[in-house]
Structure 1
Amino acid sequence: MLDRRHAFQVGLATLGLLLIAAPLDAFAQAKPPVKVRYTEVVRSILYAPAYVAIANGYFKDAGLDVAMMTAQGGDKTVAALLSNSADIALIGPETSIYVQNGDSPTKIPIFCGLTVTDGFMLIGREKVDKFDWQQLKGKQILALRPGSTPDLFLEAALRQNGIDPFKDVKLVNNVAIPARVGSWLAGQNQYAIFMDPDAAQLEMDGKGYVLASIGQTVGPADYTTFMATDKYIRANPDVIQSWTNAIYQAQKWTEAAQPQEIAKTIEQFFPGISPQALVAGAERYRKLKMWKTTPAIDPKAIERFQDILVQGNVLDPAKRVKFQDLVLSEFATKAR
């Protein structure tokens, strides 16, 4: 009888502990994720770690419910931030610099890095054994919007190889991003710049040949970064830190993964692109070391970036922005 009473008392005690613990656990599980409206400038394998953060659940584990859209242009991406139709954007640092020097009371600081340099490839219509930049003289090059990061980096690469981008070649800047591949396939222009997977797909289809890497030519310059409005960052520092943490996890995974594994993980974001092109693009970007391994922004790279803007006559040397006014480093420093 005593044993039965003891067992009954132990059972009640255990049940009490479960009833106490259960509501706490249920509360933790019921805590809703924070919705984040995320806009990327374009779709490219260059941004693979961002897709990995979605596909592998790093954002979800960080308590973020991410809704992604593709703006198809830097101007559209920054407009989304300033109009409050996006919370976080992936875009070139030039936009943050332009806004910092502009009249808008709202600024868009950078808080997390993603890519080391430009991911565009110079494509030609004919395969050559040894490419010489001088071969471009007198030719047309399908570029992007004037003043955009890809256009400015292309101009910098041309200058570094003794070519005046305004006198020696014709940069074609009036083709919208979604129409660029179609324009090339229609036979327009002798050369073009494309990112992967477009560059890899064109090569596989025999419609173009990679001649040079723009980013490798220009060097490190923190080409693409995450930013948000200063107002959003002040109101949501935990979200910004969680985002940076998730990206850091994705960067570490991407650094360790094989190109085939990267391609398989991100293929859902590239419908209609062959798996072989995804693998080729991932292999190329890994070989060129295009992906940052931490979210930290390098001050020297930002200085190099502003050098390119000055050379491109889109930034007055007197209006160079100080690193501390452009980049909020604390989130990358605390990333885990």
Structure 2
Amino acid sequence: MITFTRRTVIAAAFAAAAMIAAPTSFAQAAPEKTDVTIAVGGKSLYYYLPLTIAERLNYFKDEGLNVKVVDFQGGSRSLQAVVGGSADVVSGAFEHTLSMQAKNQPMVAFVLQGRAPQQALLVSNKKMKDYKQISDLKGKKIGVTAPGSSSQAVLTYILAQGGLGPKDVAFIGVGSSSGAVSALRSGQIDALINLDPVVTILLQNGDAEMAVDTRKVSEAEKIFNGDLVAGTLYAPEAFVKKNPNTVQALTNAMVRANQWLTKASAEEVAKVVPESYLMGNREVYLAGFEGNRDALSPDGRFPDGCAQISLDVLRKVNDKLDPAKLDLGRVYTNKFVDEALKKYPLSK
């Protein structure tokens, strides 16, 4: 015979209440597509570090996905892979969603990796010893990662604040690795805008001085009058609509990676990433991470108004973009991140 005391009845009541109150949003439906290919241009860059963390710490696998990351030489090529059908999702610059919508090939960004451009404008200590302000760059050769790239768009916007237009300088494509370093050291260019580890290498070796640092969120906000977001995961609108559970799983993994990076030390990051990322110089990699930490998104959310700011910058290099023909509300969504944050809430 079973007897019930007041204590056991109360305990049972609490247990029942807990079961009723348990959130159901965590019982996520299975991904429609478990094998997913993500195309990226320059995977080892800090710009895409959350992607590497999600992959290396098995966060994608935890969400029931088998993710293959294919690295291309530049963001435009990774975009072409998705357009051509050899990849499902792009890990790339947010502004591509705007340019693709203008081409009637709508893309949707669904989780943010970087909340600032993470690009720095450096001037050569050899060729521009007397540099004081942006207007001093008139008539100079300035290295960009590639013609028409995000770096050129950001640079053009910066130049305008010094009263200079695109025709006042010569843009030289130098890539985002050793070629960029060599171009400045050899005197082929007078200045350059680039990403890390190029930036940290040139600064630490005394080859260049910092002119503008958009790796710092506060400085980037002043330059662009708001949030010029950077790396994202984005995919064709049709893919997102057809595979919402898959997109949710990808987002969950990336949100976890973003959160891990907000707490990780530079040494912990270096232990997780492939050895090749260090390029034989661990100290440079550690310093580069600290230089970019502020620009990494802590939660994956897109800030209000970010699409308009990206459009303003993009139009500096593509004045054919007609704002009247764009629906900025379609180029990104926070709904998947909001769900991910229910499963992986931000810790205080």
TM-score, scaled relative to structure 1 = 0.80
1:116–1:221 Cα contact (<8 Å) kept: yes
Counterpart Cα distance in 2 of 1:65 and 1:210: 41
Per the alignment, in what secondary structure is the counterpart of residue 89 of structure 1?
strand
Deviation readout 1:109-168 (Å, 9 max, x if unpaired): 11111111211111222186984223322211011333322110111111123322322x
Counterpart Cα distance in 1 of 2:201 and 2:66: 32
Q: What's the CA shift for 1:267?
A: 4.5
1:44–1:196 Cα contact (<8 Å) kept: yes
1:71 maps to 2:72: yes
1:141–1:172 Cα contact (<8 Å) kept: yes
2:107–2:234 Cα contact (<8 Å) kept: yes
2:109–2:235 Cα contact (<8 Å) kept: yes
Counterpart Cα distance in 1 of 2:241 and 2:262: 31
Counterpart Cα distance in 2 of 1:93 and 1:254: 20
1:123–1:212 Cα contact (<8 Å) kept: yes
Counterpart Cα distance in 2 of 1:276 and 1:138: 35
Q: Which residue of 1 aligns with 2:338?
A: 333
Please report the RMSD computed on the Cα atoms of aligned residues, expressed in angstroms. Answer: 2.6
1:121 maps to 2:120: yes
Q: Which residue of 2 aligns with 1:40?
A: 40
Identity %: 24
Counterpart Cα distance in 2 of 1:269 and 1:299: 36
Alignment of 1:1-336 (within 5 A): 34-42=34-42, 43-103=44-104, 106-126=105-125, 131-167=132-168, 169-173=169-173, 175-176=174-175, 179-214=179-214, 216=220, 217-218=223-224, 219-268=226-275, 270-286=277-293, 289-319=294-324, 321-335=326-340, 336=343
Unaligned segments of structure 2, at least 5 residues: 1-30, 344-348
2:144–2:175 Cα contact (<8 Å) kept: no
Counterpart Cα distance in 1 of 2:319 and 2:84: 23
Counterpart Cα distance in 2 of 1:211 and 1:159: 14
Per the alignment, in what secondary structure is the counterpart of residue 305 of structure 2?
helix
Q: What's the CA shift for 1:208?
A: 3.4
- CA change 1:165–1:186 in 2 (3 A) is same
* Greater gyration radius: 1
Counterpart Cα distance in 1 of 2:130 and 2:339: 47
Per the alignment, in what secondary structure is the counterpart of residue 162 of structure 1?
coil
2:227–2:303 Cα contact (<8 Å) kept: no
Aligned length: 299
- CA change 1:69–1:207 in 2 (3 A) is farther
2:124–2:190 Cα contact (<8 Å) kept: yes
TM-score, scaled relative to structure 2 = 0.77
2:92–2:233 Cα contact (<8 Å) kept: yes
Q: What's the CA shift for 1:194?
A: 1.8
Per the alignment, in what secondary structure is the counterpart of residue 112 of structure 1?
strand
Counterpart Cα distance in 1 of 2:278 and 2:68: 18
Counterpart Cα distance in 2 of 1:203 and 1:61: 39
Per the alignment, in what secondary structure is the counterpart of residue 270 of structure 1?
helix
Counterpart Cα distance in 2 of 1:304 and 1:252: 25
2:94–2:109 Cα contact (<8 Å) kept: yes
Per the alignment, in what secondary structure is the counterpart of residue 220 of structure 1?
coil
Counterpart AA for 2:287: A
Q: Which residue of 2 aligns with 1:20?
A: none
Unaligned segments of structure 1, at least 5 residues: 1-30
1:101–1:319 Cα contact (<8 Å) kept: no
Counterpart Cα distance in 2 of 1:320 and 1:253: 39
Deviation readout 1:250-295 (Å, 9 max, x if unpaired): 1111111222322332243515241111111111112xx2111112
Q: Which residue of 2 aligns with 1:17?
A: none
Counterpart AA for 1:158: L
- CA change 1:320–1:157 in 2 (3 A) is farther
Counterpart Cα distance in 1 of 2:167 and 2:337: 39
Counterpart AA for 2:47: L
Q: What's the CA shift for 1:198?
A: 1.8
- CA change 1:65–1:268 in 2 (3 A) is farther
1:201–1:274 Cα contact (<8 Å) kept: no
1:77–1:89 Cα contact (<8 Å) kept: yes
